[in-house]
Amino acid sequence: MKPVQIRVIDKKKLFIKWDDETESEIGLEKLRKRCPCATCLAEREKQSKSYIPILNENEVKIININQVGNYAITVTWKDGHNTGIYEYPFLKKLADEK
Q: By CB under 5 A, tell whether 35 contacts Zn ion.
A: yes
Three-state SS for the chain is: CCEEEEEEECCCEEEEEECCCCEEEEEHHHHHHCCCCHHHHHHHHHCCCCCCCCCCHHHCCEEEEEEECCCEEEEEECCCCCCCEEEHHHHHHHHHCC
Q: Which is nearer to Zn ion, 8 or 74 (CB)?
A: 74
Shorter beta-carbon distance to Zn ion: residue 1 or 63? 63
Residues 39-68 that bind Zn ion (CB under 5 A): 40
Residue 28 as a binder of Zn ion (CB under 5 A): the answer is no
Closer to Zn ion at the Cβ: 79 or 92? 79
